[in-house]
Structure 1
């Protein structure tokens, strides 16, 4: 599925590149074509205006039509680039552009017109017109983009944004679907494990009753009873994965102490356990006892595996106004920086045995069922690791 996800991403990226490249190329082609047509329209506008200004021309209907239909912003200047006229600019902005908002006859004092002229001058060369009757009389016509040309030029940016948004939504949908399927697989495996454990555990309980009634087994029955109870607890934990467990008001200090004591008795003698309780009093919070115990037990067992039989494990219980914090620290081999982002992913493990589900299920239990958080607070190779659980009061 991971390779398939990469294939989807590569395909989407390729499609996006092709769409954007094609759009930019075609938009560039259209923009150049429109720009060429607009220059011809401005030239026609210049000729039409001068045609009308010539008293010898009687029929000016076509020239007037050209002047009216042109929507390109144009600024007329003399040979010294002093503004003499303008058309198709924002009248309201022109009105604001006068000094002290007071109109004057000198167009060159208008800040808005001066700013537009500078923009037009920097974008393209002007169209020049020389009076055929007076060669010393020359006008220059600077012009900007029409609304159509602006829309064509901005279209690739809009298209790029739409394509990027489409790709992001698609990737998130694929990832969500993948994670949902993955969670269903792990939950299904957990429930099937619980189901498979149920039959032999029930059978063992029956055999235990037979042993209890048989003289001479008094020394073994209590220990077998503990192990069968433990198996029943493990089966119950697996059965709760994938469904919403019932949370109860429990003492978090007592829950942690019981798990620490249970693991301590079964740990190698060279491992030192230390429980530091910095809580102001016994804190009662909503917990699923079996599942929360499982998380603490899993962290402690991982710590034991990391220390390979010797070292120390420290459990710190702290609090603030809204949260209870449980830190589990060990003096083991630590986690490499490249693996820190993978530790909670299903299937990831550095052990020779195991499915790599412990931390993944722990994260699900704390975050989904208890609405808390679990993270690697810090880790250093050769010095140890600290996991932090945060639970809401």
Structure 2
């Protein structure tokens, strides 16, 4: 499916590039064609100016005047042979000319960079001439900038399409995750129920009291795991719980399964009750995953510090270990599915943790700090 999405995106990009490339060539062709026509218009306009300047009483000026006044789009500036502006110009903003003395000079430099001047010699003055510099009409500018506008539009279209496709792909992945989790919960349900029945059978046999207690703990653990998986994909019911109590229970649970060389500390800043809206089984899963990751990072010995702080608008939980740490290039990958530094593992624990915190509890989880050889601190922020 990922390969199909990449092929589709590549085809869309190539199609857009072909459209833009074709448009650029065609726009350049139109721009050159319009430029040639405008040059001819300016030359005709200059001839009309010449006719007006050299007219006698018998000259019919109607056509020349009509041509001279008919140019209402192409900007023109007249200079003398020394390129000094004669204050004869057309199709420029008169208000700007009056307000800014440098406006005409700026326009003249602009026109010089676009087209060479059309020169009109003055017969009665040897070595004298008028030079007419002209710029681009509005139409030519629009044609020239059209490919850029089109490129922006197509670029926006591609971005929106890719975002929509990625969102669709993400939704599909979410559905796969949810389906897999629910199927796991469903498959666990039957053997767990069977185990509960066998526990009741063993309970009736004298001498199994100690054994029954241990088996019940494991069965309850399986029920908890099944319940957690069953809640993935559906909106969990959040309840107000005391986080001090919730975290204490999970620390005690992990502590029993850790070696005696691991030291646990839990700092609540003197608070005994820090309420927050959580889904108890899913929140416990988050703390359990972080504590297990810390144990794995320390390889059997070290120190795990858990801190919970009640702030004005949020509750902040830090889980810190003094293990091997995470390299800078891997910090951005730790929450991605499949990423793991363990020899065994699916690399899904932190992905599920992030999903539970951010999607189901509308909070945040991130690596607050990590240093190779010194340890890592994960931070959870839950909004009140």
TM-score range relative to shorter protein: over 0.9
> 1:21 aligns to what?
21
Unaligned runs of 5+ in 1: 98-109
1:9-66 deviation per Cα after TM superposition (whole angstroms, max 9, x unaligned): 4434433433333333332232233222212211110101221341255333433332
How many Å apart are 1:136 and its aligned residue? Answer: 4.0
> 1:249 aligns to what?
240
> 1:103 aligns to what?
none
> 1:102 aligns to what?
none
Per mean C-alpha deviation after superposition, the further-off stretch among 14-23 and 325-334 is 14-23
* In the alignment, structure 1 residue 361 sits paired with structure 2 residue 362: no
Per mean C-alpha deviation after superposition, the further-off stretch among 87-96 and 322-331 is 87-96
> 1:276 aligns to what?
267
Of 376, 383, 386, which residue of structure 1 is paired with 2:377? 386
> 1:163 aligns to what?
154
For 1:5 and 1:193, the matched residues in 2 are separated by 28
Of 78, 81, 100, which residue of structure 2 is paired with 1:79? 81
- Over 3 Å counting, the alpha-carbon distance change for 1:194 and 1:312 in structure 2 is same
How many Å apart are 1:279 and its aligned residue? Answer: 5.6
1:304-363 deviation per Cα after TM superposition (whole angstroms, max 9, x unaligned): 122222222111222332111111122222223332222112222222333222111111
How many Å apart are 1:4 and its aligned residue? Answer: 3.9
> 1:233 aligns to what?
224
> 1:104 aligns to what?
none
For 1:197 and 1:188, the matched residues in 2 are separated by 14
How many Å apart are 1:188 and its aligned residue? Answer: 0.7
> 2:193 aligns to what?
202
Secondary structure of the corresponding residue to residue 354 of structure 1:
coil
Per mean C-alpha deviation after superposition, the further-off stretch among 75-84 and 138-147 is 75-84
Q: Does the CA contact (< 8 Å) of 1:279 and 1:318 recur in 2?
A: no
Secondary structure of the corresponding residue to residue 209 of structure 2:
coil
Secondary structure of the corresponding residue to residue 78 of structure 2:
strand
- Over 3 Å counting, the alpha-carbon distance change for 1:147 and 1:197 in structure 2 is same
Q: Does the CA contact (< 8 Å) of 2:274 and 2:310 recur in 1?
A: no
> 2:69 aligns to what?
68
1:361-389 deviation per Cα after TM superposition (whole angstroms, max 9, x unaligned): 11111001111001111222332222111
- Over 3 Å counting, the alpha-carbon distance change for 1:55 and 1:298 in structure 2 is same
For 1:254 and 1:9, the matched residues in 2 are separated by 50
How many Å apart are 1:240 and its aligned residue? Answer: 0.4
For 2:380 and 2:30, the matched residues in 1 are separated by 59
Unaligned runs of 5+ in 2: none
For 1:307 and 1:360, the matched residues in 2 are separated by 21
Of 303, 308, 331, which residue of structure 1 is paired with 2:322? 331
Q: Does the CA contact (< 8 Å) of 2:290 and 2:319 recur in 1?
A: yes
Q: Does the CA contact (< 8 Å) of 1:51 and 1:57 recur in 2?
A: no
Secondary structure of the corresponding residue to residue 235 of structure 2:
coil
Of 337, 341, 345, which residue of structure 1 is paired with 2:332? 341
Q: How many residues of Structure 1 are paired with residues of Structure 2 in the alignment?
A: 381
Of 119, 124, 142, which residue of structure 2 is paired with 1:128? 119
- Over 3 Å counting, the alpha-carbon distance change for 1:25 and 1:172 in structure 2 is same
Q: Does the CA contact (< 8 Å) of 1:279 and 1:317 recur in 2?
A: no
> 2:286 aligns to what?
295
How many Å apart are 1:263 and its aligned residue? Answer: 0.5
Secondary structure of the corresponding residue to residue 51 of structure 1:
helix
Cα RMSD (Å): 2.0
Secondary structure of the corresponding residue to residue 79 of structure 1:
coil
How many Å apart are 1:298 and its aligned residue? Answer: 0.8
Secondary structure of the corresponding residue to residue 255 of structure 1:
helix
Secondary structure of the corresponding residue to residue 267 of structure 1:
coil
1:192-231 deviation per Cα after TM superposition (whole angstroms, max 9, x unaligned): 0100111111111111111112222112111111111111
- Over 3 Å counting, the alpha-carbon distance change for 1:211 and 1:196 in structure 2 is same
> 1:107 aligns to what?
none
For 2:87 and 2:152, the matched residues in 1 are separated by 42
- Over 3 Å counting, the alpha-carbon distance change for 1:57 and 1:277 in structure 2 is farther
